Amino acid sequence: MPSPQSKSLQVDFCGLALNSPIVLLSGCVGFGEEYTRVEGYSNADVGAVVLKGTTLEPRLGNPPHRVYETPMGMLNAIGLQNPGVHKVVDDILPGLDFAETRFIANVCGSTIEDYAEVTRLFDDSPIDAIEINISCPNIKEGGVQFGNVPEMSARVVAACRAETRKPIITKLSPNQTDIAANARLCIEAGTDAFAVINTVMGMAIDVEARKPVIGNVQGGLSGPAIKPIALLKTRQVYAVAREHNVPIIGQGGIASAHDALEFLLAGASTVGLGTALFYDPLICSKVNAGIADYLERHGFESVTDIVGALADG
């Protein structure tokens, strides 16, 4: 792995050495190679890249419109458009530079068997870890149903656990009654980490046409608008996860170093950037610099020193 900008930014995540606590989120950077075309960007600035959601068979995705800008956020309903796991493993992964950063697969499915088979195929690949997407709010089957029922979430995790020795990250939905209870069952089923949170369900309406703007009617809301929700859910999951040394990727509306620090203090070990990349493709280096400055000013030697350091109010 390349040398990080600052030793204080190094993070151990499920046994993986990361250069930075920043993780680029699934769906925001394609399959990893697209974002490297941005002038001034380097994968060495981030700890890991989560690849686009991948299913067993190719998917065309949802009908348009698929993306809609909202105040302080964005709705998306891409519908998991992807070329299928065989194409990803055989043709895309060989083109990625695993010496630059870590790459995490994002596994999706309509059935538990689908999740297990996609996981098995990624297990026999150079991918560093596997994120299980059981909380996608913009597909009509699987996804959000699995993510909102703790017992179903645990069944998916257990099925994937049986197919791989790679670290498993379970992506939790905010659209459920008790996220901490879900996290507890997923830990028992064998997850190694969590991604908290996925997008929040939402919609937009074209009042002149009197129709939903999004072709799928509903979509996932991301961006700064959901940050307070994501912070609370991160803290709730951390209350369970810390007992078992299960790390968290905190995500949802992070658009600055200040935002990232909030998630770290709430209990996240790493922080995910997504929507912010669309309006500032070079934000990662700024967030790294801001975190490093905070650590130096407050006398902390590493990011790990501030994880969960939020004083009880």
Q: Count Cβ atoms below 10 Å from residue 246 Cβ, excluding itself.
A: 21
How confident is the model over 93-102, as pLDDT tens digits? 999 999 999 9
How confident is the model over 267-313, as pLDDT tens digits? 999 999 999 999 999 999 999 999 999 999 999 999 999 999 998 75
Q: Which residues contact 207 (CB under 8 A, 6 or more apart)?
A: none
Q: What is the pLDDT of residue 141?
A: 54
Angle, helix 227-241 to helix 257-266, in steps of 10 degrees: 30
Per-residue DSSP letter, 44: G
Q: What is the pLDDT of residue 136?
A: 61
Q: What is the pLDDT of residue 306?
A: 98
Catalytic site residue from 136, 160, 186, 284:
136
- Cα→Cα distances 29→25, 43, 256, 282, Å: 7, 11, 18, 13
Q: Say whether the peptide bond before residue 197 is cis (omega within 30 degrees of 0).
A: yes
Average pLDDT over residues 231-247: 97
Q: Indicate the pTM of the whole model.
A: 0.95
How confident is the model over 64-75, as pLDDT tens digits? 999 999 999 999
Q: Residue 1 pLDDT > 70, yes or no? A: no
Q: What is the pLDDT of residue 5?
A: 55
Give the SS3 label for residue 32.
coil
How confident is the model over 144-165, as pLDDT tens digits? 567 778 899 999 999 999 999 9
Average pLDDT, the chain: 93
Least confident segment among 39-53, 223-237, 251-265: 39-53
Spatial distance between the Cα atoms of 226 and 239, rounded to a whole number of angstroms: 20
Spatial distance between the Cα atoms of 108 and 133, rounded to a whole number of angstroms: 5
Name the phi and psi angles at 266, rounded to 5: -75, -15
CATH 3.20.20.70 assigned to domain 7-58+79-200+220-306? The reply is yes
14 part of the active site: no
Pick from 161, 130, 129: nearest CA to 15? 129
- In contact, 67 and 75? CB cutoff 8 Å: yes
Domain boundaries, the chain: 7-58+79-200+220-306
Per-residue DSSP letter, 82: B
Tell me the Ramachandran region of residue 129: left when phi exceeds 0, alpha when psi lies from -120 to 50, beta otherwise.
Answer: beta
Average pLDDT over residues 107-126: 95
Q: Residue 85 pLDDT > 70, yes or no? A: yes
**Which of the two residues, 35 and 3, has the higher pLDDT score?**
35
Report residue 153 as tokens. 């979430």
Pick from 36, 181, 7, 12: nearest CA to 100? 36
Q: Which residues contact 243 (CB under 8 A, 6 or more apart)?
A: none
Q: What is the pLDDT of residue 6?
A: 79
